[in-house]
Chains A and B, each alone.
Chain A
Amino acid sequence: MKHLTADKWYAPRLMGQVNAKLRRAFLCGIAGCLIVLALYSLLLFLSRLNKDRENDHAYIVTFPDGERMTLYEHTLINVWVEDVRYTYEIPDVPFEKTGVRVERIMADFGALTKGAFLFLMVLFFWMVTEVLLNYRSFQHPSKAVYLIKRVSDRWEMHRRCLLIPVTALLIGVLFCIGLGVLFYTIYLKMTPPDRIPEQIEIAIWRMLV
């Protein structure tokens, strides 16, 4: 009954000794996806951070009336000063001439982590598909649902369909939270204090796409 112990976590399509290798491949695939998630996001973040430190491509522009805006890369802006329009190419705008002040800063955290956790979305859609296939395997090709609904544990079918995919997703989310904390700590440690933007945008949704 050794295989039966492993079987109790799986839906009909993955049950049986004949599918032992497939089950191992499935679990290895999940682990691989999580490892790729961690490595990809780490490499992406660090490379962006390093590039940003070298190029300092974010700027805060302060206008004479006190309005401020954050600009990335080189940008053309128009400024009206005493009814005269001046056009400038950031970053080289001298303050003394126009009253427009430009300060170089580090890109905000959201820009550095944009899309870093893309693989979590990949894992999400994969696990949703697994859940749907698991439930379907109780109806096709045989009506195993008639058997599973007659066992004493009313959660037997749902456990077999949901446990592994939901656990994989939860582990993925925990990975991302841990990595996010790590990245934020690195960001603060590696950025000179005078280059940190006043408001750091941490948009979680930007990390996923």
Chain B
Amino acid sequence: MIELRNVSKRYGRVLEALKDISLSIGQGEVIGLFGENGAGKTTLMKCILGLLGYEGEILIDGEPVNRSNIAKMSFGTCEFSFFPEMTAMEHADFYEAHFPKFRRDRFRGLTEFFEFPVYRPIKNLSSGQKSQIEVILALCQGADYIFLDEPFVGYDLFNREDFYKVLLGILEPNETIILSTHLIEEVEGFIDRALMLHEGKLIGDKSVSEIEEEAGSLVEYVKKLYGYQADRVGRSLEMITGEKK
């Protein structure tokens, strides 16, 4: 289990990226992390992974995150964390050398499924392929908690749909996914729980079944939570063009 207790993160003196967040993440969950741009989703993930300093406490299986237990978490990010000069196969060798639980079988299966060119340097691949290998490596590290930050950048629709199906098929009961994405409608079908961030605060933490009871769908729930005004586009156009819509 990952526990966050009163976690805050400030950039400089003015910008509070995270404000007093407390939550827990159990094993085997598929969690969607949602929020507007700048809400703090990426910052939250990086704080949990120990990539950023923070105030408060973050525990993984009862212990602070350190070099001996950090391998329990993996990270796939839209910023890309691979070595561009290396091929996918060389990355597999690197992961195997540094992460004892690396899943070579899963790596082989996923790269074959996506017909991924494993012997070409990653720097020479398309942005969609770069996103693919980033996610594949995160899934194959052998971690218990898999953080994916906007992992579908550059994926076409068919690859995304295939990926969701493959993801649900390969996940083991002890593996937890924390997925940050703006594609709410697409992921609604396979996440168990939704965390909502707004301006650094955790404003919602509900299971999908609770959300469906309350609002009918995740999209409607998010709209309600963020106070989305359906007529704001019309009002803005009126203001810009001077014409009544």
Select one of B67, B79, B85, B93 contacting A146, CB under 8 A.
B79
Is B15 an interface position by the 8 A CB rule? no
Known: A150-B71, A150-B75. A142 touches B86 (CB 8 A): no
Taking a contact as CB atoms under 8 Å apart, the answer to whether A12 and B84 are in contact is: yes
Known: A13-B85, A16-B85, A16-B87. A142 touches B94 (CB 8 A): no
Q: A1 to B96, alpha carbons, bound, how many Å? A: 10
Q: A145 to B123, alpha carbons, bound, how many Å? A: 16
Chain B interface size, as a band, is 20 to 34
- CB nearest neighbor in A for B83: A12
Is B68 an interface position by the 8 A CB rule? yes
Taking a contact as CB atoms under 8 Å apart, the answer to whether A142 and B79 are in contact is: yes
Known: A143-B80, A149-B50. A18 touches B67 (CB 8 A): no
A114-129 Cβ-contact flags toward B at 8 Å (1 or 0)? 0000000000000000
Taking a contact as CB atoms under 8 Å apart, the answer to whether B67 and A154 are in contact is: yes
Known: A150-B49, A150-B71. A18 touches B121 (CB 8 A): yes
B77 to chain A, nearest CB (A): 6
8 Å CB interface, A1-23 against B: 1, 3-4, 7-8, 12-19
Is B73 an interface position by the 8 A CB rule? yes
| Number of A-B pairs, beta carbon distance below 8 Å | 83
Q: A14 to B121, alpha carbons, bound, how many Å? A: 12
- CB nearest neighbor in A for B73: A150
8 Å CB interface, A129-162 against B: 141-147, 149-154, 156
B193-214 Cβ-contact flags toward A at 8 Å (1 or 0)? 0000000000000000000000
A140 to chain B, nearest CB (A): 10
A105 to chain B, nearest CB (A): 59
- CB nearest neighbor in B for A17: B90
Chain B positions within 8 Å of A1 at CB level: 93, 96-97
Taking a contact as CB atoms under 8 Å apart, the answer to whether B68 and A143 are in contact is: no
Chain A positions within 8 Å of B68 at CB level: 152
Chain B positions within 8 Å of A8 at CB level: 97
8 Å CB interface, B62-112 against A: 67-68, 70-71, 73-75, 77, 79-87, 90, 93-94, 96-99
Chain A positions within 8 Å of B50 at CB level: 149-150
Given contacts A4-B90, A145-B81, 16 further A-B contacts (CB under 8 A): A12-B84, A16-B85, A16-B87, A18-B85, A142-B80, A142-B82, A143-B79, A143-B80, A144-B82, A144-B84, A146-B75, A147-B83, A149-B50, A150-B73, A152-B67, A152-B98
Query: Could you give 18 example pairs across A and B, Cβ below 8 Å?
Result: A4-B97, A7-B86, A8-B97, A14-B85, A16-B90, A18-B85, A18-B86, A141-B123, A142-B79, A143-B77, A143-B79, A145-B81, A146-B81, A147-B82, A151-B67, A152-B98, A153-B67, A153-B98
